[in-house]
Amino acid sequence: MPILEGKSVVKYFGGLVAAAYVDFHVDQGEIVGLIGPNGAGKTTLFDLISGSLAPTSGSIEFKGEDITGLKPHEICRRGIARTFQLVKLFGNMTVLENVLFGSLFGESITSARSAAEKASSELLEFVGLSGMNRVLAKELSLANQKRLEIARAMATKAELLLLDEVMAGLNPAEVDKAVDLVKEIRHKGITVFMIEHVMKAIMGISDRIMVLHFGTKIAEGTPDEIARDKKVIEVYLGLEAHAES
């Protein structure tokens, strides 16, 4: 049962095609990976889903409801939250305040403060940031900042989490921890759609993978199928050969 469904999504930036008739779907409870070379349009797709951008044409549905063209805060209220490729935390607020922000505004305006604080503390513990409530977000290490961003997104009671290169910039040990965290998130019943370049991680954790190239979906399937897909290999090998020359 798809929780998120996109049909023929197109996005033009002037003459540049960032998304060309992309069909996609994510089923409830899945972890779906989105990969592709740089500039393939992955973050653009997330922007279209989260409401940062409106599609030139096509439609996006969430839980059966058409969310095409809605504003980010409206989409958030309906249950989609995201993290950003370049972390967008509230740097001068504390760790707790960041998560509290998600709790207070993410669902409905009338959530009670004390309940929100309790939920925030629990989430911080869940992502492994307990005991750092009073620390300013900008003083955290990169790995912790990413955890905080995830906690903040989850605080909005999201049913679908869009993770944009959550593992970028992390060392191998941190990557492993991040993978575990994503598994725990799925365990909670939250659906995950994630963009990633760290192949080992995303191939290991995803139920399904989508491959974008120049704004077009060129392949879709299980990690095994993708690893053997000729088009995908060509695209990635082609890039490697180009890099070597």
Partner 1 sequence: MRSARSPFSIRSARMVLPILVLILLGTAPLYASLYTLISLSNVFMYIVLTVSWAVFSGPSRYISLASAAFFGIGIYVSAILGNVLPFPMVVFIGGLLSFLVALFVGLSSLRLRGMYFTIFTFGLSELIRHSVHWWEVNMTGTVGRWVVAVDQKIVYYAMLIIVMMTVFVAYTMSRSRLGFALRGIGESEDAADHMGVNVNAVKIITFAVSTFFMGTAGAVMATRWTYIDPSIAFNPLFSFMPVLMAIFGGIAQIVGQIIGATALTVLADLLLTKFPYYYMLSYGVILVAVILFLPGGLMALQATMKSWHERSFVK
Query: Which residues would be at the binding site for partner 1 (CB under 8 A)?
Result: 50-52, 71-73, 76-77, 81-82, 84, 88-93, 97, 101-102, 104-107, 109, 152-153, 155-156
Q: Which is nearer to partner 1, 147 or 208 (CB)?
A: 147
CA 120, distance to chain mean position in Å, is: 20
Query: Closest separation between CB of residue 138 and partner 1, Å?
Result: 9
The nearer residue to partner 1, 19 or 104, going by C-beta atoms, is 104
From the CB of 85, what's the least distance to partner 1, in Å?
Answer: 12
Q: What is the b/e burial string over 31-69, where b = at least 16 CB atoms within 10 angstroms of the residue's CB?
A: bbbbbbeeebbbbbbbbbbbbebebeebebbbbeeebbe
Other C-beta atoms lying within 10 Å of the C-beta of residue 126: 17
At closest approach, how far in Å is the CB of 47 from partner 1? 10
Provide the minimum distance between the beta carbon of 175 and partner 1 in the complex, in angstroms, as a whole number: 24
Q: How far is the CB of 137 from partner 1 (least distance, A)?
A: 9
Q: Between 78 and 177, name the residue whose CB sits nearer to partner 1.
A: 78
**Angle, vertex CA 138, rays to CA 132 and CA 144, nearest 5:** 50
Minimum distance between the CB of residue 196 and partner 1, rounded to whole angstroms? 20
As beta bridge partners, residue 190 has none
8 A C-beta contact, residue 102 and residue 154? yes
Nearer to partner 1, 72 or 223 (CB): 72
Residue 103 or 206: the one with the smaller Cβ distance to partner 1 is 103
For partner 1, give the closer residue by CB, 152 or 208. Answer: 152
